[in-house]
Structure 1
């Protein structure tokens, strides 16, 4: 892991805490939340204030997330909004914290100038002891204040000011005036500089959790389902109709299609589908080279393609299927047949343009673990776990690639791979391409494996029909 840390691919963008004043504020907040303190004189924190060094020192890496359910946080600076969230138990936690900081940035900037802000992501569940408890998590609210209670005191002072202005005899209430003066010494002038954190509430219908081996819960879609990385039998009965695990590839494909959650890469607008397919093929070659003990030190893209030619007979079916799809996309070959039970099937997809696209791309990354770039971007916890098992030569190649191709322009890389063009309005559509390609593309792409029929009939995928055929919706 040292290689990843040195390149900023692990523990990157953490906030360094070295100032004695900040360390004291952190300790006050830590004691306020957990009753513990740290003797460290320097450490790093993530967006929630969690520090891996403090976790090591305390012997408890869940010191801000007991039970992995209601995450507590410590804010020393608004710069934490750009930091990652380490050890995430729920996919929505970082997004909620980031939005909370952004929406209250001015107030938090003022508060953290003098004290740390401590708080908690609250929901109605305090323990996820059983999988069915996940379905009780729907609404998350944020509770936060400084360790000195500045926000609480400011609200109290504001109430006193309103009373003072409204009551006719308030000028003669010496007790009220003395209390106002006492609180104002702590909060400052709340009439000119109100200290109030926006009350925020987040409804979460679709999310991923690390609990129970990893579960993707989709409730806010037309056809709800739960998808687990482990064995679905281990989840027991759940209050949802469909429960899938990764052996149910046809059913997962059908679920994604029925809810319009994915689109084929070759159909997506505004991306270089050929370049993306070639890079996925390179990653598959790298994985195969690792299995054959081939040294990849300093390997370039030309070297990877030379390996593909030299060892074509030993490459897995994912490579050959993507090669056929690339050939078709560049108008050089016949329409490939890639059904939903084919190992390459999910490599041909990306999330469609909808609010849960990052969650869907996270699911696709886990279904396509050889695509190390997508895995690193959307599922870092799984990436780090798999990285530990790779050979040194693959570790070196992947770390160098991510440092060179992704770290240099993260936003640009994500936009090129997973971005969506804004819909065009009041603009005449461009003339369609030749019917031979256009009809095949529109009619055939998309996951069409049938739920409940998979055991009785051969599964069909977006590439399942012969080129030029015109099957109806029921035939897909």
Structure 2
């Protein structure tokens, strides 16, 4: 993994903690949350305050995430909102933390100027003994305070001020006045500078969890379903469709029934055929590396040459994408790609909806040869796969991501996953390579079976 770290592809964008003051504040918060402390004098933290160095020191990568449920967090600065979340057990956790920081940014900025803020993503469950318990996960409430309890103290002071202003004879209540003065020494003037953090609650209806080998749970869709990437044992009793990652047709039907995906060639304003060609290059690189080819500084032309050299050994994923590109660019024969074809999920992306990131994450799980989408959408799966690749493939992938993704992350994401309004009328299911071949006619010549596709 050293190559990924050197190129900023792993542990990138972490927040450095080097000041003795910040280290001391972190230790106070860590002691409060876990009863532990670190001996390190500098380290890095993610959006939740988790440090991989401290995890290594303590021999516990889940020291802020006991049993992978109810993640705790330590905030030293609001700049943590841009950091990644490491060892995520739920796909929603980073988004919730970022929303919380942004919603309370002014208050957190003031609080972290003097102390660390420690808190927890409070779930409705404390452990997941069986997959059925995933149905009990309904919402997440964020609770937080400084290590000195400044938010709680400000709340008590606010109540005392209300009592003082409304109670007859409060001017003569020396005990109340003394308590107010004592709290104000710690909180400051809360009438001018309020000290409060809203305990926000976030619904958690559709999500991925790393528990039980990886499970995607979709409850807030027209036809609810759960997709277990390994075994579905323990999920069969759920009141929804249950699928495993191997049930390709069932997953395809589920995605289409809920209108969650669209063919990449439907996308407007992008060179969709070029995206498919890039996926083909990734597959060629994987095959060539497994056969001992040196991919150092391999260009796209080099990969095309390797594709010709090893054409007979390229998998069906590549063959299907090649047929699709020939149709789009060269008026090639009609490609018939149904949901059982290995290339099927490589031709899809999420539609523009609230769960687009989750659906693209699922598609990345189903298309592991597309190393770019795997890295962008499902980093845990990417790192696990990377560890088992040949050195040649590791070097090629690290170089490609550093040179062609890192330099323009936003642009790449927009090109791959952005959405624009559809053109023309919707195309019927019969006019798709996933269904029966259509009769030839003006509409096919004009827009193609996926909608408006601009042929070269």
Q: TM-score range by the shorter chain?
A: over 0.9
On the 8 A contact 2:429/2:435 being kept in 1, the answer is: no
Q: Which moved more, 1:290-299 or 1:252-261?
A: 290-299
Offset at residue 303 of structure 1 (A): 0.4
Aligned counterpart, 1:269 = 268
Q: Distance in 2 between matches of 1:393 and 1:380?
A: 20
The answer on whether the counterparts of 1:216 and 1:227 sit within 8 Å (CA) in structure 2 is yes
CA contact (8 A) 1:335 1:463 kept: no
Separation of aligned partners in 1, 2:2 and 2:342: 32
Name which of 434, 442, 446 aligns with 1:463: 434
Q: Secondary structure at the match of 1:202?
A: strand
- Residue 467 (structure 1) shift: 4.1
Provide the rounded CA distance (Å) in 2 between the counterparts of 1:228 and 1:318.
Answer: 22
Aligned residue runs from structure 1 range 55-134, under 5 A: 55-134=55-134
Q: Find the counterpart in structure 1 of residue 365 from structure 2.
A: 366
SS in 2 for 1:361: helix
2-structure distance, mates of 1:469, 1:242: 37
Indicate the residue corresponding to 1:450 in structure 2: none
Matches of 1:2 and 1:81, distance apart in 2 = 25
Q: How many angstroms apart in 1 are the aligned matches of 2:224 and 2:409?
A: 32
CA separation of 1:445 and 1:405: change in aligned 2, threshold 3 A: farther
Deviations 1:319-377 (A, max 9, x none): 11111111222252122100100000000000001100000000000100000000000
Rounded Cα–Cα distance in structure 1 between residues aligned with 2:91 and 2:440: 41
Alignment partner of 1:8 is 2:12 = no
Counterpart secondary structure, 1:168 = coil
Task: Report the Cα distance in structure 1 between the residues aligned to 2:244 and 2:235, rounded to whole angstroms.
Answer: 13
Quick one: distance in 2 between partners of 1:238 and 1:85? 32
User: In 2, distance between residues paired with 1:238 and 1:107?
Assistant: 45
Q: Cα deviations across residues 428-447 of structure 1 (Å, max 9, x unaligned)? A: x7xx5xxxxx99x654477x
2:113 is the counterpart of 1:142:
no
- Evaluate the alpha carbon distance shift between residue 337 and residue 58 of structure 1 in structure 2; reply closer, same or farther with a 3 A threshold: same
1:449 — aligned with what? none
Please give the TM-score of this superposition, normalised by the length of structure 1: 0.90
Distance 2:28 2:430 in 1: 60
Please state how far the C-alpha of 1:469 moved relative to its aligned partner.
6.9
**Cα RMSD for the two superposed structures:** 1.6
**2:150/2:186 contact within 8 Å kept:** yes
Would the aligned equivalents of 1:91 and 1:207 in 2 still touch at CA under 8 Å?
yes
Residues 404, 169 of structure 1: CA spacing in aligned structure 2 closer, same or farther, 3 A cutoff? same
1-side partners of 2:209 and 2:372: how far apart? 21
TM-score by length of 2: 0.94
Please give the residue correspondences for 1:190-205 in structure 2 after superposition, counting only pairs within 5 Å. Answer: 190-205=190-205
Show the counterpart of 1:229: 229
Task: For residue 61 of structure 1, report the CA deviation from its aligned partner.
Answer: 1.1
CA distance in 2, matches of 1:111, 1:197: 10
Distance 1:444 1:383, change over 3 A: farther
Tell me how far apart the structure 2 counterparts of residues 247 and 380 of structure 1 sit (CA, whole Å): 21
Name structure 1 gaps, 5 residues minimum.
Answer: 433-437, 447-461, 471-476
Q: Runs of 4+ in structure 1 displaced over 3 angstroms?
A: 441-446
Gaps of 5+ in 2: 442-456
SS of equivalent residue, structure 2 residue 216: strand
- Equivalent residue, structure 2, for 1:407: 406
Q: Which residue number in structure 2 is paired with residue 325 of structure 1? A: 324
